[in-house]
């Protein structure tokens, strides 16, 4: 039995982050995702059978919509939370089937899956599906109403003309079953496919191979390789689809994909977001991930791909490099190469655009305050890699005032302290170590070019005792 992280108790604490104007909305978990818009999971009273994922701060421009069905058709909108927050952080509003129940934690070494049935065959059906495919279209109808409803906090924030649907395993079948809706522009089928032999099974989704002929938008299939129980079904779907653009990619990760074994949904989230960027945002650079003989996934030895009717990629071809600079810092450099007919040109005039990566959730003062604990953890992990003296030198060279915590004597004797006159040498005869000179702390400020100073050494023991006692006797 897998262990899950219960997050329902966070809703009361985090409800202040919900959309303004929806007093009954609850936030589940912290804002996350490595995209430019850290995203949250939210439950809304007006959409009680679903979970909404959105950027914590909605931008002015309307966002495309991604409808999602869970693995095993579960009624748990947090089942793929890390993956869906990652998608939403790239600038999407995601509506997942199911109420927010339990979030599955990151697990890089999951237990082996139970024995699989024969390839291409459905598993024995155990219980009725907890969610239904019709809920995907119910979510789209709700989003359309909210986008136009006066006073809705989502009014004008949703691009209802740019809608994708997707799902994992049983949820992928739900996605296929509604993909003939004319409002849906593309479908993402992850670790799923229509059963080769429709003889019932664990999923109650009623969809057969004949459904594929009714679909009208580009299709993305991802599988976990031949050991994925859905691989044969997905491969058969792709072989049958001849009227649509289709990309199928597989890596040997099994039926669970990378939803939980890699941070933020891993490869599945990265590839899914790039597909959405291409299909819903017309991102020319994203087309190079999938289309053409030199597509990025085609050139990646980890991936096995099938391409059908995808056409050629658009724009120049980008290559990203991380260049080490001083002190172990890596600078991300994008090199754009001219391309024609889907092939990279050998011209020696690339356009170079360089930038330094940043953590999106720490980008602004507001986000840094909201994610202060996570920022401290990440900074602490980085700082722990080198001794304090190393970071003091690095930050000082960059013009950032800093210093280690030191004892007074060590601090005032440092070169910059000496230069500012923070210590003052005095002659003191009769010191125990046989030295006649000692450094004392001077005033840390200056009122003139010379600054304050002390010209007298500290008194010796009882040096002024007679005068003090005489003064005391005189005041009796």
**Is residue 336 domain-shared with residue 439, that is, in the same domain?**
no
Which ranges of 304-412 does DSSP label H, i.e. alpha helix? 365-370, 372-383, 388-397, 408-412
For the chain, give the percent of residues with pLDDT over 70.
77
Instruction: Provide the pLDDT for residue 457.
Output: 67
**Is residue 339 domain-shared with residue 218, that is, in the same domain?**
no
Determine the average pLDDT of the residues in 445-467: 71
**Is residue 285 domain-shared with residue 347, that is, in the same domain?**
no
Instruction: Provide the pLDDT for residue 310.
Output: 97
Distance CA 356, CA 331 (A): 5
**Is residue 186 domain-shared with residue 270, that is, in the same domain?**
yes
Tokens of 173: 């079948």
- Residue 23: which pLDDT band, with cuts at 50, 70 and 90? very low
- Kindly state the helix (H) or strand (E) to which residue 39 belongs, with its residue range: strand 39-44
**Is residue 326 domain-shared with residue 199, that is, in the same domain?**
no
Instruction: Kindly report which listed range (122-126, 145-149, 456-460, 465-469) carries the lowest average pLDDT score.
Output: 122-126
SS3 297: helix
Residue 378 lies in a domain: no
Instruction: Provide the pLDDT for residue 141.
Output: 98
Distance CA 342, CA 312 (A): 5
**pLDDT tens digit string along 272-292?**
999 999 999 999 999 999 999
SS3 218: coil
Tokens of 331: 């600078």
Instruction: Provide the pLDDT for residue 438.
Output: 72
By C-alpha distance, which of 71, 46, 64 is closest to 254?
A: 71
**Is residue 341 domain-shared with residue 273, that is, in the same domain?**
no
351's CB contacts (< 8 A; 6+ apart) are 316, 335, 336
- What does the mean pLDDT of the chain come to? 83
Q: Which of 283, 314, 345 is the last residue of a domain?
A: 314
Q: Which of 295, 327, 356 is the last residue of a domain?
A: 356
Q: Are 338 and 319 in contact (CB under 8 A)?
A: no
Q: Is the pLDDT of residue 184 over 50?
A: yes
What DSSP string describes 70-82? -GGG-S-TTTTHH
**Is residue 333 domain-shared with residue 428, that is, in the same domain?**
no
**Is residue 75 domain-shared with residue 185, that is, in the same domain?**
yes
Residue 393 lies in a domain: no
Residue 293 DSSP label: T
**Is residue 179 domain-shared with residue 232, that is, in the same domain?**
yes
Distance CA 469, CA 29 (A): 72
**Is residue 155 domain-shared with residue 47, that is, in the same domain?**
yes
**Is residue 211 domain-shared with residue 326, that is, in the same domain?**
no
Burial of 121 (0-12, 13-18, 19+ CB in 10 A): middle
Domain coverage including residue 337: 316-356
**Is residue 159 domain-shared with residue 56, that is, in the same domain?**
yes
Instruction: Provide the pLDDT for residue 352.
Output: 54
Distance CA 104, CA 191 (A): 18
Distance CA 415, CA 131 (A): 70
Determine the average pLDDT of the residues in 330-349: 75
- Residue 475: which pLDDT band, with cuts at 50, 70 and 90? low
């Amino acid at each position: 039995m897998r262990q899950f992280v219960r997050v329902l108790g966070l809703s009361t604490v985090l409800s202040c982050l919900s959309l303004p104007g929806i007093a009954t909305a609850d936030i589940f978990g912290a804002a996350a995702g490595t995209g430019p818009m850290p995203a949250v999971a939210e439950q809304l009273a007006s959409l009680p059978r679903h979970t909404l994922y959105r950027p914590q701060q909605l931008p002015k421009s309307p966002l495309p919509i991604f409808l999602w069905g869970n693995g095993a058709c579960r009624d748990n909108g947090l089942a793929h939370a890390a993956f869906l927050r990652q998608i939403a952080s790239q600038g999407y509003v995601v509506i997942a089937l199911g109420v927010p129940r339990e979030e599955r934690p990151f697990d890089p070494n999951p237990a082996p899956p139970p024995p699989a049935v024969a390839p291409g065959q459905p598993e024995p059906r155990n219980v009725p599906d907890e969610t239904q495919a019709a809920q995907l279209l119910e979510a789209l109808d709700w989003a359309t109403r909210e986008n136009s409803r006066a006073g809705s906090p989502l009014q004008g924030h949703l691009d209802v003309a740019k809608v994708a649907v997707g799902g994992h395993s049983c949820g992928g079948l739900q996605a296929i079953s509604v993909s003939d809706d004319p409002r849906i522009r593309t479908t993402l089928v992850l670790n799923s496919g229509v059963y080769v032999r429709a003889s019932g099974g664990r999923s109650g989704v009623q969809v057969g191979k004949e459904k594929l002929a009714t679909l009208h938008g580009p299709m993305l299939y991802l599988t976990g390789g031949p050991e994925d129980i859905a691989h044969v079904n997905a491969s058969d779907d792709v072989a049958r689809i001849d009227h649509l653009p289709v990309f199928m990619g597989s890596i040997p990760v099994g039926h669970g994909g990378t939803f939980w074994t890699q941070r933020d949904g891993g490869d599945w989230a990265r590839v899914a977001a790039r597909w959405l960027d291409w299909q819903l945002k017309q991102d020319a650079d994203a087309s190079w991930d999938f289309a053409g003989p030199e597509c990025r996934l085609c050139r990646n030895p980890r991936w096995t791909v099938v391409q059908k009717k995808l056409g050629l990629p658009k724009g120049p071809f980008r290559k990203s490099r991380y260049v080490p600079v001083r002190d172990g810092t890596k600078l991300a450099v994008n090199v754009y190469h001219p391309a024609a007919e889907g092939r990279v040109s050998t011209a020696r005039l690339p356009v170079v655009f360089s930038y330094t990566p940043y953590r999106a959730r720490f980008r602004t003062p507001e986000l840094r305050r909201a994610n202060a604990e996570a920022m401290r953890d990440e900074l602490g992990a980085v700082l722990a890699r080198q001794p304090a003296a190393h970071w003091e030198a690095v930050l000082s060279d960059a013009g950032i005032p800093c210093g280690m915590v030191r004892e007074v004597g060590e601090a005032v004797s440092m070169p910059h302290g000496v230069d500012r006159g923070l210590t003052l040498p005095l002659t003191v005869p009769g010191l125990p170590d046989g030295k006649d000179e000692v450094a004392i702390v001077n005033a840390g400020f200056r009122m003139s070019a010379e600054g304050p100073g002390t010209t007298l050494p500290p008194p010796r023991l009882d040096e002024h005792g007679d005068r003090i006692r005489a003064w005391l006797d005189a005041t009796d």
